[in-house]
Amino acid sequence: MKVCVAGQGAFGQKHLAGLSRIDGVEVVSLAGGSPETTEAVAKKFGIPHWTTNLSESLEQPGVQAAILASPTQMHANQAEQCMRAGKHVEVEIPMAENLADSQKLLRVQQETGLIAMAGHTRRFNPSHQWLHKRFESGELKIQQMDVQTYFFRRTNMNAAGQPRSWTDHLLWHHACHTVDLFQYQTGEVASEVFALQGPKHPELGIAMDMNIGMKVASGAICTLSLSFNNDGPLGTFFRYICDNGTYIARYDDLFDGNEKRIDVSGVDVSMDGIELQDREFLSAIEENREPNASIAQCLPAMETLDRLEKNCGN
């Protein structure tokens, strides 16, 4: 299968690394922001064609699908562009910066009948998969999820420590991961939500600290703390407090409440959540089925984010 990738930054390269480990897929074009870095990344991964124009990538012979790891502000328009061009699309989280654009993407997907998937990696991390299987079987039941999402982003820097040309967002990007995961793991949409945000950065214009609370009808609650001001270990750390044990998930790793490591190496064919996410996208295309984390499945998370935004008065 021939695919193109949009985005030469840190996450675009994570997708390219994952795709390089999947048999039967060929990245034939890379669409990036700056010519110099796009060319360098294309050479690094042996991609024969690069451009700064997504349309040019989509027009390459044989391209069936696109994976978008471009700046957040471009996600909705580019995802629609791909589907209008007849290409299946996987758009990195968040699929859009607001509910209206998210709803529009679902309408375009339904009109075109193409596979459209959002990059909700937490659904695919082996650690969260291990727990999801036990929630589905009834072995475990969530009482509370306590989640910390911490970065040091007082300037526009990406995950690789390089300058960004766009501004990140705690609610519509980073909270999206946990909002979707909480609703996915409980199998319910949050019935109650609240949000508090700290002062906005004078130059970036975004809230640098945020606190979110959610509750589902069955009684499980989620407490999420987010910050771009944290000077220390970076990333997102999940504590699942269950009726029959406590578990701590750090990306692809899982521990019990006493920090004893749980072996999740046999959960799936890889320990890389992004690779597993891409495998699901490609398999769904080959099998002509709805993927896990389809636009439709992830829309409730966007609806909850919209409620949270209104709740915090943003």
Q: What is the pLDDT of residue 159?
A: 54
pLDDT of residue 40: 98
Which of the residue ranges 20-29, 57-66, 164-173, 257-266 would you say has the lowest mean pLDDT?
164-173
In eight-state DSSP terms, residue 242 is E
Q: What domains can be seen in the chain, in order of their start residue? A: 2-121+274-292 (3.40.50.720), 122-269+300-311 (3.30.360.10)
Cβ(176)–Cβ(160) below 8 Å: no
Residue 181 has pLDDT above 70, yes or no: yes
Please tell me the distance from the alpha carbon of residue 188 to that of residue 209, in angstroms, as a whole number.
Answer: 26
Query: What is the C-alpha to C-alpha distance for residues 135 and 245, in angstroms, rounded to an integer?
Result: 12
Q: Please give the share of the chain, as a percent, with pLDDT higher than 90.
A: 85
pLDDT above 70: residue 73: yes
The sheet with strand 221-227 has its strands ordered as 192-197, 209-215, 221-227, 142-150, 235-242, 245-250, 253-256, 261-262
Section 109-114 average pLDDT = 98
Q: What is the mean pLDDT of residues 200-221?
A: 90
Q: Is the dihedral of CA 60, 66, 71, 73 positive or negative?
A: positive
pLDDT over 80 at 169, yes or no: no
Q: How high is the pLDDT of residue 203?
A: 78
Q: Tens digit of pLDDT for each residue in 18-36? A: 999 999 999 999 999 999 9
Longest dimension (CA), the chain: 54
Q: Give the Cα separation of 15 and 273 in Å (integer).
A: 10
> β-strand 235-242 against 221-227: which pairing, if any?
unpaired
The pLDDT, as a whole number, for residue 296 is 98
Statement: residue 298 has pLDDT above 90: yes
Q: How much is the average pLDDT of 280-294?
A: 98
Name the percent of the chain lying above pLDDT 70. Answer: 95
AA identity, residue 112: T
From CA 142, how far away is CA 62, in angstroms rounded?
Answer: 45
Supply the mean pLDDT for the chain.
Answer: 94
Q: Is the peptide bond before 94 cis (omega within 30 degrees of 0)?
A: yes
Tell me if residue 151 falls in helix, strand or coil.
Answer: coil
pLDDT band (50, 70, 90) for residue 160: low
Determine the length of the chain: 314
Average pLDDT over residues 138-158: 85
pTM score, two decimals? 0.93
